[in-house]
Chains A and B, each alone.
Chain A
Amino acid sequence: MPRGAPSPPPERVDTAEVARRAGVTPATLRRWVADGLVLGAPRKAGAPWPPIAIAHARIVARLRQRGHSLAEIRRATKEGRLAFGYVEELMPTVDATFTLRQASRKAGLEPALVERIFSMLGFAQPEHLGVEDVEMLEQMSEVLDAGFPLAAFLQLLRVYGQALAQIADAEVRLFHLYVHEPLMRDGTPGLQVAEQMGELTARLLPFSSPVMDHVHRRLLHHFIEQDIVGHMEADLGSAASAELGRMRTAIAFADLAGYTQLTEQQGDAEAASTVERFVADVTHTLPDEARIVKTIGDEVMLVSSDPAALADWAVGFQALASGPQRPRIGIHAGEVLYRDGDYYGREVNLASRVAARAAAGEVLVTREIVDLAESHQEFERIGEVKLKGFSEATELYLAIVPELG
């Protein structure tokens, strides 16, 4: 709705309609209301139902379908545990207007491809699709018609699906942990919990999509620039020599030595804060050519088109790191398989094993990194080391960390 446009008049919904939406008989619904299961439901016959009560009736129906007893639902309602369900009601529901075949025809895509698209995005196989689903498919069809390779497109969709699932999951979990649970702990009545959460969500919802769009565009700008620079300054041999979907890159893993012990000594929250600071330090200090691929607990995976700069960053970062939790870093370079936004293959596994071999404060590298290093970089040969999972020994070097002062 455009900003400033008048709100539509509130929908007037009676008991029969609410029962239909919840998939139960009006008699069942009336019994739930009489038993105090549906918060906010009108007591007076013929009175309109407020949206919050309509939502609650649907939640009760879903819980009954899943086998929860009336006593359990009553207790959960009273304690405000069902309040999150109201938030869901603020989301637009998919109006199942088209069958899969109709939607496919309208978008100009094969039904099998539409199924694959939904699978890549992380959804169940679609039997019925809404108008917005079809609009999305039409746009996808245009992208494919414009010549974007299908193999790359499907990978992109999987990345979108995974990233957006992680975002949605984080939004719900953080809302639950920081809003819902504190309200319940404070003993706020169920209906009030629902109202407060509904109000907050209504304010948050219009905010998230523009933020994601803006951040996405800014990051896209950054990575396009890096790709151009990467083409100009490819230090890792000819990109043309790599097979389709494969590329040469330097890979580093960095983690905090003694993290398990830290968790034992200081507890989860303090350990998590330490990891947060570590990841922030890595993020804020990385050279332009490098980026974080992912974080796994206290471990960070990095890639860079410039192995020498990555090695420089690693030793410089170690020089700056102090305190009881020193990082350990391992770096290797080689040809990797790029798929679904991640990097796979033997060389990635090897880089991970090299990092696991490093001690706190150390940067261990392979022969490949030493060969690509610049004249100012110093390494001390450790020797041939048998790394876990690899049949052949790997030649490892210790990168010399400059002394401070």
Chain B
Amino acid sequence: MGVELESPKEFKAVMDQVFSLMSEDPDMGPKLRDANVPQRFDFDDVDMVVNVRAGTSDEDANLHWEWSDDVDWEPKVQMKMSAEVAVRYFQGKENVPVAIARRRIKTGGDVKAALALIPITKPVYAQFRALLEDRYPHLVA
């Protein structure tokens, strides 16, 4: 089932909440911090880029992200997908290898590190879905 985003602004708001869920989750957050894999997401259809990294030792948050390429760190993994695929992906509705084969997700960099992040981020699927059902039902995949 397709999801219909109202605007790039809505997409950014939704993605900010996904990253917050992962960062603040007592299980996922520390694991993602320990994994320390900076990622760059390129949402080409809405012309938006977000760079995500682990929180540094002097930062409380487990994840830090900026909607820009003007960041002082280098991504280890790059992922390119449409905004719709991203919303589906964080609901667990896009299988990464299958999406790569179907050219719905393009990935580069240290892909082995990206593979290792998949099991860590799986708990966010249900949390994100619950959030969408509550506040953005039109985005539920």
Which residues of chain A have a CB within 8 Å of any CB of chain B? 280-281, 284-288, 309, 311-317, 319-323, 376-377, 402, 404-405
B101 pairs with A402, CB closer than 8 A: yes
Query: Which chain A residues border B106 with CB–CB below 8 Å?
Result: 404-405
B118 pairs with A319, CB closer than 8 A: no
Closest CB of chain B to A324's CB: distance in Å? 11
The secondary-structure label for the interface of chain B is helix
Given A284-B122, A285-B95, A405-B78 in contact, is the A315-B101 Cβ separation under 8 Å? yes
Given A377-B101, A402-B100, A402-B101 in contact, is the A313-B107 Cβ separation under 8 Å? no
Which B residue sits closest to A283, measured CB to CB? B119
B103 in contact (CB, < 8 A): yes
Measured between alpha carbons, how far is A321 from B111 in the docked complex, in Å? 7
B107 pairs with A404, CB closer than 8 A: yes
Which B residue sits closest to A310, measured CB to CB? B98
Measured between alpha carbons, how far is A309 from B96 in the docked complex, in Å? 12
Measured between alpha carbons, how far is A396 from B99 in the docked complex, in Å? 24
Measured between alpha carbons, how far is A318 from B98 in the docked complex, in Å? 11
Which B residue sits closest to A405, measured CB to CB? B108
For chain B, which range describes its interface: under 10, 10 to 19, 20 to 34, or 35 or more residues? 20 to 34
Interface residues of B in 77-115 (CB under 8 A from A): 78, 95-103, 106-108, 110-112, 114-115
The secondary-structure label for the interface of chain A is helix
Name A312's contact: one of B98, B110, B115 (CB within 8 Å): B98
A316 pairs with B98, CB closer than 8 A: yes
Given A285-B96, A317-B97 in contact, is the A312-B102 Cβ separation under 8 Å? yes
Measured between alpha carbons, how far is A320 from B110 in the docked complex, in Å? 9
A285 pairs with B118, CB closer than 8 A: yes
Given A312-B98, A376-B103, A404-B108 in contact, is the A320-B115 Cβ separation under 8 Å? yes
Given A284-B119, A402-B103 in contact, is the A319-B98 Cβ separation under 8 Å? no
